[in-house]
Amino acid sequence: MNKLDTNPEHALLGSILMNNEQYYQALEHINGPEDFQSPKNAELFRGLSEMIENGMEADPVTVCEYSREQEHLDDLETKFLAKCVNSCPAIGRGRYYAEYVKKNSMRDEMAEVLEDIDPYNTQQSPSDLIGGTISELERISERKSNLSIQPVSAGLQELNEMVGTAHERGKPDGWIRTGFGALDSRINYLAPSDFVMLTAKSGVGKTTFTMNVADYVADNEGPVFIYTGEMAGYEIAIKMIAMESGVEIDDMLKGRMNADDWERYKRACKLLEQKDIYIVTGTDTRLSDFKAAVRRAKKEHDCVLCILDYIQLIKGPPGIEENQWLNMLSSEVMGMTNDIQIPIMAISRTNKRGGVYGASELEFDCNYHLYLSVCYDKDDKYGKVDNGKRLLAVRKARLAEGGVIELMFQGGCSRFSEEGF
**Domain assignment present for 189:** yes
pLDDT of 392 higher than 90: yes
pLDDT of 367 higher than 80: yes
**Domain assignment present for 151:** no
Rounded to the nearest angstrom, the gap between the alpha carbon of residue 384 and the centroid of all alpha carbons in its chain is 39
pLDDT, residue 2, reads 47
Does 181 lie in the same domain as 134?
A: no
Alpha-helical (H) ranges within 302-336 are: 322-336
Domain total for the chain?
A: 2
User: Whole-angstrom Cα distance, residue 360 to residue 199?
Assistant: 13
Give the model confidence (pLDDT) of 196-244 as tens digits.
Answer: 999 888 889 999 999 999 999 999 999 999 998 878 888 999 999 999 9
> What's phi and psi for 78, nearest 5 deg?
-60, -35
pLDDT, residue 381, reads 60
If you average pLDDT over residues 39-67, what whole number do you get? 87
Does 197 lie in the same domain as 121?
A: no
Most confident of 4-13, 23-32, 197-206, 276-285: 197-206
**Domain assignment present for 77:** yes
Does 335 lie in the same domain as 218?
A: yes
Using a pLDDT cut of 90, give the percent of the chain over it: 27
**Domain assignment present for 206:** yes
pLDDT, residue 273, reads 92
pLDDT of 80 higher than 80: yes
Domain boundary among 87, 109, 144: 144
Which residues make Cβ contacts (< 8 Å) with residue 261, sequence separation at least 6?
Answer: 245, 247, 251
Instruction: Name the band, by pLDDT with cuts 50, 70 and 90, for residue 102.
Output: confident
The range of the structural domain enclosing residue 102 comes to 7-144
CATH number of domain containing 243: 3.40.50.300
Does 100 lie in the same domain as 204?
A: no
Would you say how long the chain is, in residues? 421
pLDDT, residue 158, reads 77
Give the model confidence (pLDDT) of 132-160 as tens digits.
Answer: 777 776 665 665 555 566 677 777 877 88
**Domain assignment present for 263:** yes
pLDDT of 37 higher than 50: yes
**Domain assignment present for 409:** yes
User: Whole-angstrom Cα distance, residue 94 to residue 26?
Assistant: 6
User: How many other CB atoms are there within 10 angstroms of residue 190's CB atom?
Assistant: 28
If you average pLDDT over residues 255-268, what whole number do you get? 93
Instruction: Name the band, by pLDDT with cuts 50, 70 and 90, for residue 266.
Output: very high
416 and 208 Cβ atoms separated by less than 8 Å? yes
Instruction: Name the band, by pLDDT with cuts 50, 70 and 90, for residue 290.
Output: confident
113 and 140 Cβ atoms separated by less than 8 Å? yes
Does 200 lie in the same domain as 130?
A: no
If you average pLDDT over residues 36-59, what whole number do you get? 87
Does 333 lie in the same domain as 255?
A: yes
CATH number of domain containing 75: 1.10.860.10
